[in-house]
Amino acid sequence: MIDCQELSKQYGSLVAVNNLTFQVQPGEVLGFLGPNGAGKTTTMRIIAGFLPPTSGKATVCGFDIETQATKAKQMIGYLPEGAPSYPEMTAKSFLEFIADSRNLKGSERLHRLDEVYELLHLKHVLNQKIDTLSKGYTRRVGLAQAILHDPKVLILDEPTDGLDPNQKYEVRKLINKMSENKIIIISTHLLEEVDAVCNRAIIISDGQILADDTPKNLEAKSKFHNAVSIKLSEPSELNAVREAINSLPEIISTEVDEHSNQLIAFPDSGKIPLQAITELGATKGWEFSELHLESGRLDEVFRTITGGAAA
Ligand code: ATP
């Protein structure tokens, strides 16, 4: 596992990471979320052994990242922010160089190289210089170097940044596939990515942990949790429908999005008002073009938690 104990990092007087303590177990895909400058990259750099902490300690699979750095780093695949590599090298020569650096030899070397070429669809760009690759392919080469030695731990700093929607989908599928027997930490600004790949999320702001939970539990903290979204086939009936729904005992308040004519009915604490609204609609003969129960909105929870911290 990864064990971080009271990790702190200061740059002069700036405290970038402030006393972080957490563990990550195999099978966990942990998403680091936080506003710009929250300390996500700094934390990942410390765990990857790229940057020493000012104080505190991180161990990876039992190896201290500072005092047993080589052993710890053998366990880790790291995709740094921006997927840096050697732009003058071809994708193939770069990945072969990484294979040698990782001490892969013989048939295992060939097998691992072939596997990452295949997994990241790199075969047709292998002989291209990295600085002539598109952003997406550069990122794929970065991911390939991170997984080449099939590490137990993957640390991926914004792994899908700059990828088109198809590539994002592919990379998320790959992360899901690898997640069974690995520890994966990713940082992302894309909240849909947290839903798509993470089974745990840590929200960081000003170098401190503000929330640490499953995406589902975080969503449940949203005011939209168990709210009902409604659109009517006949939008002119919206005000009358809103008034009727407002009078249901299961409803605490309603809101209308003027732009989309969507009505949101918020539940009274602990209530799930979907059935009551459906029954009321059937009695009144309303025609819904949309009616669904919301699980919650991670973006709203993120704003509430991090906005609250900023305030
Ligand atoms: P982003 O989402 O924008 O990538 P982040 O959460 O990854 O941000 P970090 O890059 O870890 O944040 O930065 C945390 C803080 O530390 C920021 O205020 C940043 O300016 C500062 N910082 C990072 N690296 C250095 C450095 N080498 N020297 C001085 N300050 C730094």
| Distance between Cα 17 and ligand 1 center (Å) | 9
C-alpha–C-alpha distance, residues 94 and 70, integer Å: 21
pTM of the shown model: 0.90
Residue 159 CB: number of other CB atoms within 10 A? 26
In the predicted structure, residue 311 carries a pLDDT above the cut 60: no
Rounded Cα gap, residues 166 and 250, in angstroms: 41
Q: What letter represents residue 60's amino acid?
A: V
Q: Are 6 and 208 in contact (CB under 8 A)?
A: no
Residue 167: predicted pLDDT: 84
CA of 181 to the centre of ligand 1 (A): 31
pLDDT digits (tens, 9 = 90+) for 157-205: 999 987 889 888 988 998 998 888 899 999 998 888 998 999 999 999 9
Kindly give the distance from the C-alpha atom of residue 272 to the centroid of ligand 1, in angstroms, as a whole number. Answer: 42
Q: What pLDDT digit, counting tens, does each position of 275-289 carry? A: 999 999 999 999 999
Report helix angle 91-101 to 106-119, nearest 10: 140
Span 86-94, average pLDDT? 96
- Return the ligand 1 atom nearest residue 189 CA: 2
Q: In the prediction, which pLDDT does 71 show?
A: 96
Position 14 confidence tier, pLDDT thresholds 50, 70, 90: very high
Give the separation between CA 127 and CA 224, rounded to whole angstroms. Answer: 50
Pick from 56, 73, 128, 65: which is nearest to 95 by CA? 128
pLDDT in tens, 145-157: 999 999 999 999 9
Confidence tier at 308 by pLDDT (50, 70, 90): low
Q: How many CB atoms lie within 10 A of CB 186?
A: 27
Integer Cα distance of 210 and 38 in angstroms: 11
Alpha-carbon gap, residue 37 to 226, rounded angstroms:
33
The residue whose CA has the least distance to atom 10 of ligand 1 is 41
DSSP string computed for 137-202: HHHHHHHHHHHTT--SEEEEESTTTT--HHHHHHHHHHHHHHGGGSEEEEE-S-HHHHHHH-SEEE
For ligand 1, atom 27, name the residue with the nearest CA. 11
Residue located nearest, by CA, to atom 26 of ligand 1: 11
To test the pocket of ligand 1, the residue of 18, 32, 42, 189 to mutate (highest count of ligand atoms within 8 Å of its CB) is: 42
189 class by beta-carbon count within 10 Å (0-12 exposed, 13-18 middle, 19+ buried): middle
Looking from the CA of residue 207, the nearest atom of ligand 1 is 14
pLDDT for 235: 84
> What does the pLDDT read at residue 234?
86
> Atom 20, ligand 1: which residue's CA is nearest?
37
Give nearest CA residue, ligand 1 atom 9: 39
pLDDT digits 0-9 by tens, 21-41: 999 999 999 999 999 999 999
- Give nearest CA residue, ligand 1 atom 29: 11
Cα–ligand 1 centroid distance for 52 (angstroms)? 14
**Residue 19, SS3 per DSSP:** strand
Point out the ligand 1 atom lying closest to the alpha carbon of residue 35. 2
Q: What's the residue count for the chain?
A: 311
Show the DSSP H helices in 12-164 as ranges. Answer: 40-47, 69-74, 91-101, 106-119, 135-147
pLDDT tens column, 233-286: 988 889 999 999 999 999 999 999 888 889 999 999 889 999 999 999 999 999
Helices (H), 179-297: 191-197, 215-220, 238-246, 274-284
In 10 A of CB 92, how many CB atoms? 17
Residue 58 tokens, joined:
């991180």
Q: Strand, coil or helix: what is 137?
A: helix
Q: Quote the ligand 1 centre to 80 CA distance (angstroms).
A: 13
Nearest CA to ligand 1 atom 18: 37
Nearest-CA neighbor of 308 among 215, 300, 30? 300
How many CA atoms within 13 Å lie on the side-chain side of 265? 30
Average pLDDT score over residue span 199-216: 96
- Mean confidence (pLDDT) of the chain: 93
In the structure, which protein residues have their CB atom closer than 6 angstroms to any atom of ligand 1? 11, 14, 16, 34, 36-42
What pLDDT is stored for residue 288 in this prediction? 92
- Determine the distance separating the centroid of ligand 1 and the alpha carbon of 241, expressed in angstroms: 49
**From the CA of 16, how far away is ligand 1's center (Å)?**
6
